[in-house]
C-alpha cells in the first residue's frame, strides 16, 4: 500500500481515494460536492463584489414558456387577453392577471421585469440561455448560477451542497470542476434516500474506520494541506449520510398542515424542500414543476391549473419565508425560457414569443411593488429590452458576486464572466 501511495501523483491520489471511499462506504453515487475535501480547497479566484443583499436564492423555473399575458403582464384587448382579465394588486399601480389572486395580495414584495427578451425561439437554446446567461455554443458548457456562486463565494455550508436542483435533472457544473456541480433531487418526497448507503450503521461505522486508516497512509507520506483534506473527506461524507445532514432533505419532518399549505404536487413539495434547504444553509435551489407551460397546441386549456399551482405554491413560499424571518435574505425568482404570443390561436394556444416576456422576483435584495420595463398593447417591443444575462447579473450582484471578474476556463481562449457579463438591473435592487 505504501508503495502504491508513493507512486501516485496528486490527481491520481484524489481519484484513487474517491473510488475507494465509494466502495468502502457502500454508496453507489458519491455527490460531486463532497469531493471538495479531496483537494479543491478554497475557490479559485474567490472575490466579493458589492455588499451582498441576500444570502440565498430559490429559482422557480416555469419550463415550456409561461404566458406573460396570462400571468404578470395582462392586456385588455379582447383578441389578446384570452380568458384572463387585468387585476389590481396590493401594490399601487401594479396589475397581474386574475389568475394570480394570492400573489396579487403579496405584490408589495414582488417586482416584475416585463421587458425580458431572448435571441432564440427554440425551447432548448432559450432554456440554456435562461440558466447560464450565455448563447449555446458547440464544445462549451457554461455553469449555472449556483455553481458560479460556489466558485466566487465559496461553499455555503460545511457539509451540505451549495446548490441543489429539484425535479430538473443534473445540469452539471459547466466548465467548472466537478465539485461545483449542484446536487440533483428527482423526487422531493424521497429527498436523498436513493443515495443513502444500503448497509446498517454498525457496518457503516466499521467501513469508515478502515477507510480512515487507509487514508492515514497518504497523510504520512504526503504531509501537505491537500492530502490532509483526505481525512476531512471521510468526515464530510459520514456527516452527509448521517441524520445530521440528511434531515434537511426529509420533508416528512414537516407538519402535515405545512405540507398541505404548499400543495401536494411535486412542485409544491419541491418548494417546501427548497425552503428547508435554504433555511439550513444551501445557497441556491432551483425547482421545476412537472407540468409544462407549453400552450402552443391548445395547451391554454391547462392554464387555470398551471396558474393556480404557481399562485398557491409561490404565495405560500413567500409567506412561509416571511413568517420565519427569512424573506429579507432569500430571493425568490420566477423565470421561463420565453413568453407566448399575445394573440390567441383558433385552437386556444399561443405560439413561441421570445420578443417580450416576464420574470418576477421577490424577497431578498428586491424592491417590490413595481414593474420594470413595458411591452406595447400587443405584448411586443419590450422597452428597455433585458436579456437573460442581465437577470443573471442582477441575481449575482445581489448575492455579492463581481460580474466583472474574469474567469479563464482551461482550454478556452476567451475569458468568461458569471452569467454572461450582463448589466445588473439596479432599479430592482434595494
Query: Where do runs of H (alpha helix) occur along 324-421?
Result: 388-399
Closest C-alpha to 329, from 352, 303, 363, 299: 363
Host H or E run for residue 105: helix 101-105
Closest C-alpha to 383, from 358, 354, 356: 356
Residue 332 to residue 60: CA distance in whole angstroms: 7
What was the pLDDT predicted at 44? Answer: 42
What was the pLDDT predicted at 218? Answer: 57
Closest C-alpha to 415, from 142, 179, 230: 142
Count of helices and strands (H, E) across the chain: 13, 12
CA distances from 299 to 69, 289, 294, 303 (A): 15, 16, 6, 7
Crossing angle for the helix pair 303-323 and 266-279, to the nearest 10 degrees = 20
User: Strand locations in 19-148, DSSP E?
Assistant: 56-61, 86-88, 95-97, 110-117
Q: Which residues of 179-212 are buried (b: 16+ CB within 10 A; e: fewer)?
A: bbbbbbbeebbebbeebbbeeeeeebeebbeebb
CA distances from 413 to 174, 241, 408, 410 (A): 16, 40, 8, 8
What are the backbone dihedrals phi and psi of residue 110, each rounded to the nearest 5 degrees, phi first?
A: -115, 135
Q: What is the DSSP letter of 314?
A: H
Q: What is the DSSP letter of 34?
A: G
User: Strand locations in 142-272, DSSP E?
Assistant: 163-166, 183-185
Residue 66 to residue 81: CA distance in whole angstroms: 14
pLDDT tens string for the chain (430 positions)?
A: 444 444 545 455 455 555 555 555 555 555 666 555 444 444 444 445 568 999 999 999 999 999 999 999 999 988 888 889 999 999 999 999 999 999 999 999 999 999 999 999 999 999 999 999 999 988 889 999 999 999 999 999 988 999 999 998 888 999 998 889 999 999 999 988 766 655 566 766 666 666 666 656 655 555 555 445 445 555 666 666 666 678 899 999 999 999 999 999 999 999 999 999 999 999 999 999 999 999 766 666 788 899 999 999 999 999 999 999 999 999 999 999 999 988 887 777 888 999 999 999 999 999 999 999 999 988 889 999 999 999 999 999 999 999 999 998 876 667 899 999 999 999 999 8
CATH numbers and ranges of domains, the chain: 46-167+258-428 (3.40.720.10)
Residue 230 to residue 39: CA distance in whole angstroms: 8
What residue has cell string 447560464?
132
Closest C-alpha to 289, from 57, 59, 60: 60
User: For residues 133 and 389, is the Cβ–Cβ distance under 8 A?
Assistant: yes
Host H or E run for residue 197: none
What residue has cell string 456562486?
149
Residue 316 to residue 102: CA distance in whole angstroms: 9
Host H or E run for residue 301: none
Q: What 3-state DSSP class applies to 380?
A: coil
Query: Where do runs of H (alpha helix) occur along 362-415?
Result: 388-399
User: For residues 143 and 176, is the Cβ–Cβ distance under 8 A?
Assistant: yes
Residue 167 half-sphere exposure toward CB, CA atoms < 13 A = 25
What was the pLDDT predicted at 237? Answer: 61
Q: Which residues contact 423 (CB under 8 A, 6 or more apart)?
A: 390, 393
The C-alpha cell at 214 is 487507509
User: For residues 58 and 168, is the Cβ–Cβ distance under 8 A?
Assistant: no
Please measure the distance between the N-terminal and C-terminal CA atoms of the chain and give it in whole angstroms.
58
The C-alpha cell at 426 is 439596479
What was the pLDDT predicted at 80? Answer: 86
Amino acid at each position: 500500500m505504501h508503495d502504491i501511495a508513493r507512486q501516485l501523483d496528486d490527481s491520481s491520489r484524489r481519484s484513487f481515494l474517491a473510488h475507494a471511499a465509494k466502495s468502502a462506504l457502500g454508496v453507489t453515487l458519491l455527490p460531486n460536492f463532497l469531493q471538495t475535501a479531496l483537494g479543491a480547497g478554497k475557490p479559485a479566484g474567490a472575490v466579493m463584489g458589492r455588499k451582498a443583499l441576500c444570502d440565498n436564492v430559490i429559482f422557480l423555473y416555469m419550463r415550456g414558456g409561461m404566458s406573460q399575458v396570462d400571468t404578470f403582464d395582462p392586456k385588455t384587448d379582447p383578441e389578446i387577453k384570452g380568458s384572463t382579465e387585468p387585476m389590481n394588486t396590493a401594490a399601487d399601480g401594479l396589475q397581474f392577471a386574475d389568475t394570480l389572486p394570492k400573489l396579487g395580495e403579496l405584490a408589495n414584495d414582488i417586482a416584475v421585469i416585463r421587458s425580458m427578451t431572448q435571441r432564440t425561439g427554440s425551447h432548448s437554446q432559450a432554456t440554456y440561455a435562461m440558466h447560464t446567461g450565455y448563447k449555446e455554443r458547440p464544445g462549451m458548457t457554461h455553469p449555472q448560477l449556483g455553481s458560479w456562486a460556489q466558485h466566487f463565494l465559496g461553499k455555503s455550508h460545511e457539509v451540505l451542497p451549495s446548490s441543489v436542483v429539484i425535479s430538473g435533472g443534473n445540469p452539471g457544473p459547466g466548465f467548472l470542476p466537478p465539485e461545483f456541480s449542484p446536487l440533483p433531487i428527482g423526487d422531493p418526497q424521497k429527498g436523498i434516500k436513493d443515495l443513502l448507503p444500503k448497509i446498517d450503521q454498525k457496518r457503516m461505522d466499521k467501513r469508515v474506520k478502515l477507510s480512515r486508516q487507509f487514508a492515514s497512509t497518504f497523510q504520512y507520506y504526503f504531509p501537505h494541506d491537500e492530502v490532509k483534506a483526505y481525512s476531512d473527506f471521510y468526515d464530510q461524507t459520514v456527516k452527509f449520510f448521517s441524520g445530521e445532514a440528511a434531515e434537511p432533505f426529509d420533508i416528512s419532518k414537516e407538519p402535515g398542515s405545512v405540507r398541505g399549505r404548499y400543495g401536494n404536487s411535486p412542485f409544491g413539495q419541491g418548494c417546501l424542500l427548497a425552503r428547508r434547504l435554504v433555511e439550513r444553509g444551501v445557497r441556491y435551489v432551483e425547482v421545476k414543476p412537472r407540468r409544462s407551460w407549453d400552450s402552443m397546441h391548445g395547451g391554454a386549456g391547462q392554464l387555470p391549473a398551471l396558474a393556480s399551482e404557481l399562485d398557491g405554491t409561490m404565495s405560500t413560499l413567500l409567506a412561509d419565508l416571511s413568517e420565519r424571518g427569512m424573506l429579507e435574505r432569500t430571493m425568490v425568482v420566477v423565470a421561463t425560457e420565453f413568453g407566448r404570443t399575445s394573440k390567441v390561436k383558433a385552437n386556444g394556444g399561443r405560439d413561441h414569443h421570445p420578443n417580450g416576456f416576464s420574470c418576477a422576483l421577490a424577497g431578498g435584495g428586491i424592491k417590490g411593488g413595481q414593474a420594470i420595463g413595458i411591452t406595447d398593447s400587443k405584448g411586443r417591443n419590450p422597452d428597455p429590452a433585458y436579456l437573460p444575462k442581465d437577470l443573471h447579473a442582477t441575481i449575482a450582484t445581489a448575492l455579492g458576486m463581481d460580474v466583472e471578474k474574469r474567469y479563464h476556463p482551461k482550454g478556452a481562449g476567451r475569458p468568461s464572466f458569471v452569467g454572461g457579463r450582463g448589466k445588473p438591473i439596479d432599479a430592482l435592487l434595494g
